[in-house]
Structure 1
Amino acid sequence: MPSTLASPLDPASKVRLWMGVNLVLLLIGAGLVLLPLAIVVLTSVHAGDPETAWTMASYRVAWARGDFLLAFANSTLVALAVTGLQIITSALAGYALARLRFWGRQAVLLMVLATLVIPFQLLVIPIFLVLKWGHLINTYGALILPTAVNGFGIFLMRQFFQTIPVELEEAAALDGASRWQTLWRVLLPLARPALVTLFLFTFIGEWNDLFKPLVFTSRPELRTVQLALAEFQEQFTNDWSLMMAAVVIATVPVVLLFLLGQRQFIRGIATTGIKN
């Protein structure tokens, strides 16, 4: 009598086995990634007193001593300004490199890509001299203008625009739309995943930037979150609970921002491929 039990090597069993293995590997990977964050959070709420196992006192002290309200305001202002400028410049330059046919277009694209391999630290001296010549040292301009244009954003928008069918622009042109109208009303709404991706990359990068505030500013009223955190670590090195509370305070805004835009971020990365 033939057995009615499925063979352990049948395709369905193999699929379930591989799904189980992948799930276990993903859980292990997630645990390794989340372990440092868990240590930081647990350290920040540990009072060090056996009678009081958990407390939020470190957060209240860190917020007050670090003056994070001012730091949050400065970091938000700088990050939003840089992000807005990069979105504008990247969209315009990306559209020109993707759609316009002009002499030297490939050379311009290669120059844009070449900027991606040049560390910002190598340019700090000429940038500092330019900012000093323009009387921008110790101003918000010193924190915004050096990164108002970014080669990665231009390349990202160029690649995404190339995934949009040209027939949509031709249809808009037949309806009497100019290039500006086509870009504003047709292409940019379709490029929302790429714009959200650029927004997240730029905002998080500016929020976590310590180099520009450290080099281009010295006024206390201009210090950003990362500069406040660095100064905080120098002052309270031995109090690990206080230090970890400050780290959590500085990290929470960007984590929440990424969680809000993760779907568009993943879609923007998935749909932006390498095209000639």
Structure 2
Amino acid sequence: MAWQKGNFILAFANSTLVSIVVTLLQIISSTLAGYALARINFHGKNIVLLLILATLIIPFQILVIPIFLVLKWGHLINTYWALILPTAASGFGIFLMRQYFISIPLELEQAAELDGANRLQVIWHILFPLAKPAVITLSLFTFIGEWNDLFKPLVFTNNPKLTTVQLSLASFQEQFTSNWSLLMAAVVIATIPVILLFIIGQKQFIQGVSTTGLKN
């Protein structure tokens, strides 16, 4: 009953697509930026790091108007890109990957470079596999955050075909506020994927959290 009235097939498909794409983009952007801040010396590096950290204290709601205008200018309102691009990069993800890369011995990279590997090969074949706990930690944070996000779908879309799980729950509550058993069933349905994902990745998640942030 709750599954049908909430149209969860469409909502699950949309939320899954957006969450996976945003997670992949954050992994790519955070890995590359985190490596640059951890290993490459360039002028203004510390300033860039401080600016990235400063984004962590800026609520997303403050940036809604400029983001909306940019999306409107690019004709991206009411598209999947409106749900993906605003969070395709993350200051938290960049800092997390930077901290983990710092904890990896530099000698491993130097050995790979002596064998003729370039920077991208070093990142992909050496650092990225070693950073698996941090990558899984970032993936869990990002996927769960996107899955539970109501604000972006509410502001940047009004197309029923782009309904996400949280939008479905919100509309469900407005329509059936008197039927709490039905609403609670819908909440359980929406929560199951997040719980399963955390159970699968909890070991790497704990390791990633405990082994980052140890070095400056």
TM-score using structure 1 length: 0.78
Q: Indicate yes or no: 2:87 matched with 1:147.
A: yes
> Could you say which residue in structure 2 is the equivalent of 1:178?
118
Q: Once the 2 structures are TM-superposed, how far is the Cα of residue 181 of structure 1 from its aligned partner?
A: 0.8
- For residue 123 of structure 1, the aligned residue among 48, 53, 63 is 63
Query: In structure 1, what residue type is equivalent to 2:11?
Result: A
> Could you say which residue in structure 1 is the equivalent of 2:164?
224
Q: Which has the higher contact order (CA 8 A, sep 6+)?
A: 2
Alignment check: 8 A CA contact 2:77 2:156 kept: yes
Task: Write the distance in 2 (CA, Å) between the matches of 1:175 and 1:133.
Answer: 47
Q: Indicate yes or no: 2:50 matched with 1:110.
A: yes
Task: Write the distance in 1 (CA, Å) between the matches of 2:183 and 2:121.
Answer: 51
Task: Write the distance in 2 (CA, Å) between the matches of 1:178 and 1:133.
Answer: 38
- Equivalent residues, number: 216
Aligned-pair identity in percent equals 73
CA RMSD, 1 decimal: 0.5
Alignment check: 8 A CA contact 2:102 2:215 kept: yes
Alignment check: 8 A CA contact 2:97 2:134 kept: yes
Alignment check: 8 A CA contact 2:18 2:84 kept: yes
Q: Indicate yes or no: 2:134 matched with 1:194.
A: yes
Task: Write the distance in 2 (CA, Å) between the matches of 1:182 and 1:219.
Answer: 43
> Could you say which residue in structure 2 is the equivalent of 1:70?
10
Task: Write the distance in 2 (CA, Å) between the matches of 1:273 and 1:86.
Answer: 19
Q: Once the 2 structures are TM-superposed, how far is the Cα of residue 185 of structure 1 from its aligned partner?
A: 0.4
Task: Write the distance in 1 (CA, Å) between the matches of 2:120 and 2:159.
Answer: 41
> Could you say which residue in structure 1 is the equivalent of 2:75?
135
- Listed as ranges, the matches of 1:6-21 within 5 Å are none
Q: SS where residue 146 of structure 1 aligns?
A: helix
Alignment check: 8 A CA contact 2:103 2:214 kept: no
Q: Indicate yes or no: 2:167 matched with 1:167.
A: no
Task: Write the distance in 2 (CA, Å) between the matches of 1:89 and 1:274.
Answer: 22
- For residue 250 of structure 1, the aligned residue among 182, 185, 190 is 190
Task: Write the distance in 2 (CA, Å) between the matches of 1:136 and 1:124.
Answer: 14
Q: Indicate yes or no: 2:201 matched with 1:261.
A: yes
TM-score using structure 2 length: 0.99
Task: Write the distance in 2 (CA, Å) between the matches of 1:204 and 1:112.
Answer: 22
Query: In structure 2, what residue type is equivalent to 1:246?
Result: A
Q: Once the 2 structures are TM-superposed, how far is the Cα of residue 274 of structure 1 from its aligned partner?
A: 4.0
> Could you say which residue in structure 2 is the equivalent of 1:34?
none
Query: In structure 2, what residue type is equivalent to 1:150?
Result: S
Task: Write the distance in 2 (CA, Å) between the matches of 1:248 and 1:191.
Answer: 33
Q: Once the 2 structures are TM-superposed, how far is the Cα of residue 174 of structure 1 from its aligned partner?
A: 1.2
Q: Once the 2 structures are TM-superposed, how far is the Cα of residue 177 of structure 1 from its aligned partner?
A: 1.0
Query: In structure 1, what residue type is equivalent to 2:56?
Result: L
Alignment check: 8 A CA contact 2:23 2:142 kept: yes
Query: What residue ranges of structure 1 are gaps of 5+ in the alignment?
Result: 1-60
Larger radius of gyration between Structure 1 and Structure 2: 1
Task: Write the distance in 1 (CA, Å) between the matches of 2:214 and 2:87.
Answer: 24
Alignment check: 8 A CA contact 2:34 2:98 kept: yes
> Could you say which residue in structure 1 is the equivalent of 2:181?
241
Task: Write the distance in 1 (CA, Å) between the matches of 2:119 and 2:71.
Answer: 35
Q: Indicate yes or no: 2:39 matched with 1:99.
A: yes
Q: SS where residue 102 of structure 1 aligns?
A: coil
Alignment check: 8 A CA contact 2:133 2:208 kept: yes
Q: Once the 2 structures are TM-superposed, how far is the Cα of residue 273 of structure 1 from its aligned partner?
A: 1.8
Alignment check: 8 A CA contact 2:134 2:209 kept: yes
Query: In structure 1, what residue type is equivalent to 2:213?
Result: G
Q: SS where residue 138 of structure 1 aligns?
A: coil
